[in-house]
Amino acid sequence: MKISLNWVRQFTDIDVTTDELVKLATERLGGIEGVTDLAKQYDGIVVAKVVSCEKHPNADKLSLCKVDDGGAVKDVERDENGYVQVVCGAPNVREGLLVAWIPPGAIVPASYGEKELFVLEARDLRGQLSNGMLASSRELGINDDHEGILEIEEDVQPGTPFKNLYDLDDTILEIENKMFTHRPDGFGHLGVAREIAGIQHKAFTSPSWYQKMENGKWKMENGGNNNLSVDNQIPDLCPRYMAVVLDNLKIAPSPIWLQSYLKRVGIRPINNVVDITNYMMALTAQPLHAFDFDKVAKNGKAEIVIRKPRDGEKMILLDGKEITPHKDAVLICNPDSPIALGGVMGGGNSEVDENTTRVVLECATFDMYNIRKTSMIHGIFTDAVTRFTKGQPKARLAPVITEAISMFEELVGAKQAGSVIDIADETNDIRHKTGGFIEIEAKFINDRLGSKFTSEEIVTLLNNVEIKAHIASGPIEVRTPFWRTDLEIKEDIVEEIGRLYGFNQLPKVLPLRNIQPVAPEPLRALKSEIRHSLARAGANEVLSYSFVHGNLLKKAEQDPKRAFAIRNALSPDLEYYRLSILPSLLDKVYTNVRSGIDEFVLFEIGKSHVRYPDDELDRLPDEYHQLEMVYTSTKSKKGAPYYQMLKYVDTLLSDLGIEYRIEKPEDTSFKTQSEMPFDMSRSARIFYKNSEDGGLIGVVGELEQSVINAFKLPEYSAAALFALDGPSFYPENRINNVYIPLSKYESSKQDITLKVASDITFANLRSLLESELTESGYNWDLMSLGVFQKEGESTKNISFRITLGSNERTLVTDEVTKLIDSLSWRAHEELGAEKI
């Protein structure tokens, strides 16, 4: 956002140099991205009077002019009368005209910012010497008019520096927009002027018209609005809407001073009607819009309807772009069709043009979140959007439209053709709302800033920026103005005092208050435990981008349509927000295998997301914290890779103190839910053991053969996934692993093999044995030796090594044998197992 310091000086004095002001603004307002001294662009350019104008003897379209500069320019060739010869090609050049003369050695202002500056020199044009040029508005950087030279209508003497004429001796500050993100008043020169006064510790007073909540212009003596009506069907999205008809317009260029102001702050001058609306926006931060009355009216009356779009409704915007407004957009319409996308851009069918004689002037406020949504969906970013998305105060509409009407009357000769219509929510009295009320004590501020402000000093700092404060019998009473919508609580006043005084000026002491430590974040602690456990087990953590290529999703058998596509992706390789971590992990496996690593486990802790249907795209996606692991080996191993992965799962969950059980999947739904392409026949679900409502916490299994082929993985590969957001990982649901001293007595080891039906899972059998061993009262350890099943057999053999011991004595052989027999009998009773 560009700010003209000369414009600011119309409202407050600046008693410091530009460099000092930039330093103050950076410390107390925010970032200043650039400073441009416009005066340098106009050095040497003077006002001159054309004293004679004749046709060029050697060119039909050129004129040979003599100009009087009052002798202001030195070192230039003159005739016996002291006049300077200039060749000019403008069709409007004539004798007696006051013009801007750029003499030899001066720079054409419009060339500033280009690679090379255009420095004029005396040169021969068709046999006649031309000393510089007579400049057009475009060459002077005032507007885009290049049809002829600038005609100066002001009463000034030849030789006057041109930069003095239109307040061009100016400095432009380029302010970083984010410094005023929460300050809607800061997007206008009036608000910035108030802040510049405040940081200089100077009192600021807004113009009288800005402080008026009502004005005589609102109601006409002849009364009525037979030519205008407004029907607001969506007051929640358009809390206040004001409009008035202005007649007797004649479209023409704006005065040069107005065009100059707009051009300096980055707004292109268009015509007197549009320029006044833009001028008021740049001044107050409140956007306005003008509709051509005759284009929107029927039978001499404009009927404005504020509503949401109808199904399939289309409209063409001012920039010629045709859109289908999204279902929650705000449309400003006449009875037939939309005439503006509310708060964003006007419609092409209501544009003010050279034939316009009457306008409907609109001044409204819209829901800031709805405008942001509309802007993002349609990719439209305008000056109005920038301001409406900051939440413009509703009470400001009245003074702004009143002053705008006055400008139309003064500069365009317009006449108000009816009362101002004001549609507002009566329940909140938003027409007259002046702000909030806060009580605060000096001690409250000093305790937080480490300062020693008196109540009087605090009141002065606040009153300087028109935050009305006074010392009551007890605390300081603060009445916030309607434009300070960011001031809601006492802490906001503390921040305001620190900022206006200067945080860098405060004593460097600790605040005198109790410090409440931040509560531990359970998820962060859990992630740390997981990293340490898997690292001890030999696994390797990787970090990958959350954005992936669509082909990577397809290789992992994930549908890219279910993922969010990034419109402004950094590269084609990062165009989708990943559905799970697995594709990124699998992509890293091949790289490591190719590097010669023959066996490893990779894991990553990150986020996955679930995308809602297309009709709910405005909702934020649900994001989930996940742990995903991949095991792979190029070496020949006994048993299935599933069991290798299960070892890491068991180690991790044991370290975390989570009791679990494993079950064979009953259907294919978990495969879609987990976004992991498991081989259904060689995978299992992991449940929290003591959960009453299912408690699914993860999945472990081998991958589909198509995925193994797509990622060029070794055949001996498996993966696992855990959802970390569930209550199973909460500290209160985990067992505290306590240290148990090793027994000083010798332990006994015994192997056992049980034959079971092929549909009996390893997890069920192990869970049964663990339960029996726990009830035995001995120290025990159960280690899997493998699962063995011949092809085509309906049974399988599962082997375990059981280690038994006691803290009191050495177990005898009979005790061990008796327990093994008891385990075999229980397995037979429950699962039909036979001991081999």
Average pLDDT over residues 334-349: 95
Cα(333)–Cα(818) distance, rounded to whole angstroms?
90
Q: Which long-range CB contacts under 8 A does 555-562 form with residues at least 24 apart? A: 555/583, 555/586, 555/707, 555/710, 555/711, 556/580, 556/582, 556/583, 556/586, 556/676, 556/677, 556/707, 556/710, 556/711, 557/677, 557/704, 557/706, 557/707, 558/583, 558/675, 558/677, 562/611
104 belongs to a structural domain: no
Cα(644)–Cα(654) distance, rounded to whole angstroms?
16
Weakest-pLDDT range from 84-93, 210-219, 231-240, 291-300: 210-219
* pLDDT of 433: 57
- Whether residue 692 is predicted with pLDDT greater than 60 in this model: the reply is no
Distant-in-sequence, close-in-space partners of 804: CB < 8 Å, separation ≥ 6: 747, 748, 749, 750, 778, 779, 780, 811, 816, 819
57 belongs to a structural domain: no
* pLDDT of 427: 56
Owning domain of residue 29: 2-39+171-206
- CATH number of the domain that residue 716 is part of: 3.30.930.10
* pLDDT of 221: 46
User: Domain boundary at 428, 457, 487, which?
Assistant: 428
- Whether residue 218 is predicted with pLDDT greater than 80 in this model: the reply is no
* pLDDT of 512: 63
Q: Are residues 558 and 685 in the same domain?
A: yes
* pLDDT of 742: 80
pLDDT in tens, 620-666: 777 889 999 999 999 888 778 998 999 999 999 989 988 888 888 77
**Percent of the chain predicted with pLDDT > 90:** 61
Q: Are residues 351 and 467 in the same domain?
A: no
488 belongs to a structural domain: yes
Q: Which helix (H) or strand (E) holds 40?
A: none
- Is the pLDDT higher at 22 or at 514? 22
* pLDDT of 569: 80
Residue carrying the six token digits 């081989």: 679
pLDDT in tens, 103-154: 999 999 999 877 888 999 999 998 899 999 999 999 998 888 888 999 998 8
The answer to whether the beta carbons of residues 518 and 215 sit under 8 Å apart is no
Cα(448)–Cα(501) distance, rounded to whole angstroms?
14
Q: How confident is the model at residue 346 (pLDDT cuts 50, 70, 90)?
A: very high
Query: What are the φ/ψ torsions at residue 378 (nearest 5 degrees)?
Result: -95, -5
What amino acid is encoded at 359 in this protein?
V
379 belongs to a structural domain: yes
Q: Are residues 724 and 765 in the same domain?
A: no
130 belongs to a structural domain: no
What amino acid is encoded at 74 in this protein?
K
Q: How confident is the model at residue 199 (pLDDT cuts 50, 70, 90)?
A: very high
pLDDT in tens, 30-66: 888 899 998 888 999 999 999 999 999 999 889 999 9
pLDDT in tens, 389-434: 998 899 899 999 999 999 999 999 999 998 899 998 665 555 555 6
- Whether residue 669 is predicted with pLDDT greater than 70 in this model: the reply is no
Q: Are residues 303 and 447 in the same domain?
A: no
Q: pTM, whole model, 2 decimals? A: 0.70
- CATH number of the domain that residue 393 is part of: 3.50.40.10
Of the candidates 419, 145, 142, 406, the one whose C-alpha atom is nearest the C-alpha of residue 276 is 406
Our count of domains for the chain comes to 5
Q: Are residues 680 and 698 in the same domain?
A: yes
Residue carrying the six token digits 């976004």: 675
Average pLDDT over residues 72-87: 92
pLDDT in tens, 456-472: 999 999 999 999 999 98
Q: How confident is the model at residue 86 (pLDDT cuts 50, 70, 90)?
A: very high
User: Domain boundary at 182, 206, 230, which?
Assistant: 206
* pLDDT of 432: 52
pLDDT in tens, 556-613: 888 888 888 887 787 888 899 888 898 999 999 999 999 999 999 999 999 888 776 6
- Whether residue 617 is predicted with pLDDT greater than 80 in this model: the reply is no
**Percent of the chain predicted with pLDDT > 70:** 94
Residue carrying the six token digits 């800005």: 210
Distant-in-sequence, close-in-space partners of 28: CB < 8 Å, separation ≥ 6: 199, 499, 500, 502, 503
- CATH number of the domain that residue 498 is part of: 3.30.56.10
517 belongs to a structural domain: no
- Whether residue 293 is predicted with pLDDT greater than 80 in this model: the reply is yes
- CATH number of the domain that residue 767 is part of: 3.30.70.380
For 382, the 3-state DSSP assignment is: coil
* pLDDT of 476: 94
150 belongs to a structural domain: no
Cα(359)–Cα(689) distance, rounded to whole angstroms?
73
Q: Are residues 687 and 725 in the same domain?
A: yes
Q: Are residues 562 and 645 in the same domain?
A: yes
Q: Are residues 483 and 583 in the same domain?
A: no
Q: Are residues 342 and 380 in the same domain?
A: yes
579 belongs to a structural domain: yes
Entry field: residues in the chain: 836
pLDDT in tens, 721-767: 998 987 778 777 787 777 777 888 889 999 999 999 988 888 889 88
Q: Are residues 536 and 565 in the same domain?
A: yes
Q: Are residues 497 and 558 in the same domain?
A: no
Q: Are residues 408 and 468 in the same domain?
A: no
Average pLDDT over residues 203-220: 76
User: Domain boundary at 477, 505, 533, which?
Assistant: 505
Cα(191)–Cα(824) distance, rounded to whole angstroms?
85
Query: What are the φ/ψ torsions at residue 304 (nearest 5 degrees)?
Result: -95, 130
